[in-house]
Amino acid sequence: MSVARLKETLESLSKTVFEKQFRLDYQDLEDKVQEAVAEAIEELATEYLTEPWNHPQVKYIPDQGEIWRLKIGNQGKDIDHRIFFDINDEGLVFLTVEHRDHAYQS
């Protein structure tokens, strides 16, 4: 799924913002990973928009600067990524998406 298609799909969902770094990271992902990321964001933005912290794969990461993490995939598999986002007055602000191996490096 292209960035344009992801944006188009999610523009219909209120209160979602994609930072430049997220868009760049997303473009660099393999197609199957892009699809998994898009599905995870769509689920978060539709089913958990008002309370994203209730999603079973969301965790608050205070030592990273008041951001949230959405886990995608399983450890040891091709898809083992993390989406980092903020929750503010704009709604869900997607910051980055990275493979687990690189997600927690400073």
Indicate the domain borders of the chain: 3-101
pLDDT digits (tens, 9 = 90+) for 49-66: 778 888 999 999 988 777
Dihedral, CA of residue 26, residue 19, residue 60 and residue 39, to nearest 10: -40
As a CATH number, domain 3-101 is 3.30.2310.20
pLDDT at residue 93 tops 80:
yes
pLDDT digits (tens, 9 = 90+) for 2-45: 666 666 655 555 578 899 999 999 999 999 999 999 999 989 88
Task: Give residue 45's pLDDT.
Answer: 84
Task: Give residue 88's pLDDT.
Answer: 80
Strand order in the sheet with 16-18: 16-18, 91-99, 80-88, 67-73, 58-61
